[in-house]
Amino acid sequence: MRIGILGSGSGSNMQAILDAIEDGSLDAEIALVLSDNPDAFILDRAKQHDIPTALIDCRGFKTKFPDEAQTETAAALKDAEVDLVCLAGFMRLVKQPLLDAFPQRILNIHPSLLPAYPGLNAWKQALDDGATEAGCTVHHVDAGMDTGPTILQAKVPVLPGDSAASLHARIQVEEHRIYPEAIRIVTGVAS
């Protein structure tokens, strides 16, 4: 199974998927890593592992994912013969035509127990809201923001004295565990 990954930041979730492949618990290959951010560390991580990378050109748009860039992204993923697309810290909203190119084959990881706290900085939303429980969700991507059907969730406690950073770090431990597991569930691919 060939996976394409889209990310805008550090790429620790991509690293978790790669680790699962390397330790033999996920029978897959990361075929391509795409980023809208030329400085994203996810690109460095991919290069360190000889994984092909490409930039998604969204110049002129701070947050929007223009149709043209979505078409180019879909073409790059098809050229790389990708079977499954994983969003891993990708901060733009995927819509048609990318959705149409990979029906039921685009997953996302989000740092909250959806449907609670969609959107940006979900762990901070939970903290500001006085939540006693937080977590993460892997879900199918549809045209909404963090709205597709859930595949897996994991909970973590919000502890007294938590900062946004400490809570996010606790959530990320669970993200790294459930993302490879969700891929196994969706594709039926284990080693």
The residue ranges that bind ligand GAR (CB under 6 A) are 7, 9-13, 88-89, 109-111, 122, 146, 172, 175
| Alpha helices, H only, the chain | 12-22, 41-48, 67-79, 98-101, 122-128, 164-187
Instruction: Please tell me the distance from the alpha carbon of residue 149 to that of residue 138, in angstroms, as a whole number.
Output: 9
32 is in an annotated binding site: no
Residue whose beta carbon is closest to ligand GAR: 89
When the beta carbons of 79 and 175 are compared against ligand GAR, the nearer one is 175
In the annotation, is 110 catalytic? yes
130 is in an annotated binding site: no
Active-site option among 49, 110, 140, 176: 110
12 is in an annotated binding site: yes
13 is in an annotated binding site: yes
Contact in structure between 70 and 56 (CB atoms under 8 Å): no
Contact in structure between 30 and 14 (CB atoms under 8 Å): yes
Contact in structure between 46 and 33 (CB atoms under 8 Å): yes
| Cβ atoms within 10 Å, residue 82 | 24
Minimum Å gap between C-beta 123 and ligand GAR is 8
When the beta carbons of 75 and 169 are compared against ligand GAR, the nearer one is 169
Annotated binding-site members: 11-13, 64, 91-94, 108
Known binding residues for (6R)-10-formyltetrahydrofolate: 64, 91-94, 108
Task: Kindly list the catalytic residues.
Answer: 110
